[in-house]
């Protein structure tokens, strides 16, 4: 099953943060597409639930030292 979720990400303080998170998400198995916005403070992630869980995606972002505040 393919799902898309929008996560609210805290801790991005410049556009390089956005690119760093986006690159990591795109290189993560099971994530089909990822768009991170520094301006919006969001990560829009489309993923295959057979391969990766939502919790694992949250963990990928947190391991880069950003916070997932809520999802919308
Ligand atoms: Mo910008 Mo983000 O100088 O980790 S890259 S703060």
- Judged against a pLDDT cut of 90, whether residue 72 lies above it is answered with no
* Ligand 1 atom 4 nearest Cα: 17
Atom 3, ligand 1: residue with shortest CA distance: 14
Q: What is the pLDDT of residues 7-23, one digit of tens each?
A: 999 999 999 999 999 99
Q: What digits encode the pLDDT tens for the residues 24-57?
A: 999 999 999 999 999 999 999 999 999 999 999 9
For the sheet with 67-71, list strands across it: 31-37, 42-48, 2-10, 67-71
pLDDT for res 17: 97
What residues are in contact with ligand 1 under a 6 Å CB criterion? 13-14, 16-17, 20
> What pLDDT, on the 0 to 100 scale, is given for residue 71?
58
pTM: 0.93
Q: What residue spans define the domains of the chain?
A: 2-71
Interface predicted TM-score (ipTM)? 0.87
Token duo for residue 22: 């986006």
- Other beta carbons less than 10 A from residue 30's beta carbon: 13
- Ligand 1: centre distance to CA 61 (Å): 14
Domain at 2-71: CATH architecture? 2-Layer Sandwich (3.30)
């Amino acid at each position: 099953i393919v799902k898309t979720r929008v996560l609210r990400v805290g801790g991005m303080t410049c556009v390089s943060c956005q690119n760093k998170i986006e690159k990591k998400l795109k290189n993560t198995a099971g994530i089909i597409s990822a768009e991170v916005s520094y301006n919006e403070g969001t990560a829009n992630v489309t993923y295959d639930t057979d391969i990766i869980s939502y919790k694992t995606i949250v963990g990928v972002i947190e391991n880069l030292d950003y916070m997932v505040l809520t999802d919308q």
